[in-house]
Amino acid sequence: MMITINLKPGLKRRRAGSPLGGLKERFDGLAGRVKDPMLIAAAAAWIAVVGGLGVMWTANARELAASEERLEQSRSEHKRFKNFIAQKRKQELIRDSLVAQIGIIRGVDRDRYVWSHVLDEVSQALPAYTWLVDIGASVPTAPAGPAVPAGAKDTASADAAPPSLAIRVTGRTVDIQAYTKFLRQLEASPWIENVQPQSVTTVIENERPVTAFIVSANYTTADSAYIRTVPLSQSVR
């Protein structure tokens, strides 16, 4: 326990002041000593410049952080779209390759089964008491079309349809009505068009008079609705 003795009883004890009170007095004394206004203006200008630089640095730092975030997002989007475009180009190359292969196969198979269709359609159109003597190709009758420029012939030749095949059918019948029925049924075929009778005469075969006829027609590719595909081989149990 400490005992405090006041050696000057006439004076009151001073209260402890604020620690900033001395600092304020020092600044007041410094302001009293500095009498040059230019020095004060220069100091104020430096303080304003330093404060402005601090504010600008803080704003630039925030803007830089936001720009870096947007840059990372743009990089990720660019990478994603780059991969998407690469896959799209790859699929397009595969598609173009398949289209080219299908075109080659169609070009090879374009005329492979022509005569199979011709013989099948002629045999189905043949009525009773009528038989064929000869069937073959004649001079093709291609329809006249618009003039094609010389430079566009090579481009159009790959996609152009094959020229119409002209066929010539020679046959015999013992009934003139069977001959007219043969013409109607042949014209009704989706693979045969432009059926025209060329000649009809009476000849003697096996000591009997028969009607000899010659018919010309054109082979054409039927609509897809009339085309029926069957497998080349079937398993039989």
Looking at the fold, whether 105 and 118 belong to one and the same domain comes out as no
pLDDT-based confidence at residue 197 (cuts at 50, 70, 90): very high
pLDDT above 90 covers a percentage of the chain that reads: 27
Q: Select the more confidently predicted residue: 107 or 193.
A: 193
Residue 158 within any structural domain of the chain: no
Strands 208-219 and 165-173: antiparallel
Same domain? 35 vs 125: no
Q: Are residues 174 and 89 part of one domain?
A: no
pLDDT band of residue 156 (cuts 50, 70, 90) is very low
- Close Cβ partners of 153 (under 8 Å, ≥ 6 residues apart): none
| Range with the poorest average pLDDT among 71-85, 132-146, 202-216 | 132-146
pLDDT band at 143 (very low <50, low <70, confident <90, very high): very low
Task: Give how far Cα 209 sits from Cα of 133, 171, 172, 182, 212, Å.
Answer: 16, 14, 10, 19, 9
End position of a domain, from candidates 94, 110, 126: 110
Q: How many domains does the chain have?
A: 2
Looking at mean pLDDT, say which of 8-22, 49-63, 88-102 comes out highest.
88-102
Distance, in Å, from the CA atom of 164 to the CA atom of 215, rounded to the nearest integer, reads 16
Q: What is the pLDDT of residue 103?
A: 85
More confident residue, 222 or 20: 222
- Note the pLDDT tens digit of each residue in 57-82: 888 888 888 888 888 888 888 888 88
Distance CA 56, CA 19 (A): 34
Q: How many angstroms separate the CA atoms of 192 and 169, rounded?
A: 12
For residue 64, what are the domain limits?
Answer: 24-110
Poorest-confidence range of 10-19, 129-138, 194-203? Answer: 10-19
Residues 205-212: contacts with CB under 8 Å, at least 24 apart: 205/172, 208/174, 210/172, 210/173, 210/174, 211/172, 211/173, 211/174, 211/175, 211/176, 211/179, 212/133, 212/170, 212/171, 212/172
pLDDT digits (tens, 9 = 90+) for 181-195: 999 999 998 888 899
Q: Is 103 helix (H, G, I), strand (E, B) or coil?
A: helix
| Residue reference for tokens 């206004």 | 37
- Do both 71 and 122 map to the same domain? no
Q: Does a structural domain hold residue 231?
A: no
105 and 122: one domain? no
* Same domain as 218, residue 125: yes
Do 49 and 66 belong together in one domain?
A: yes
pLDDT, greater one: 166 or 158: 166
Average pLDDT over residues 207-232: 81
106 and 118 share one domain: no
d(CA 141, CA 196) in angstroms, rounded, equals: 13
Residue 230: inside a domain: no
Claim to verify: residue 69 and residue 120 sit in the same structural domain: no
Would you state the pLDDT for residue 131?
Answer: 92
Final residue in a domain of this structure, among 110, 131, 156: 110
Asked if 131 and 194 sit in the same domain, the reply is: yes
pLDDT attached to residue 212: 93
What secondary structure letter does DSSP report for 63?
Answer: H
Q: Are strands 192-205 and 208-219 parallel, antiparallel or unpaired?
A: antiparallel
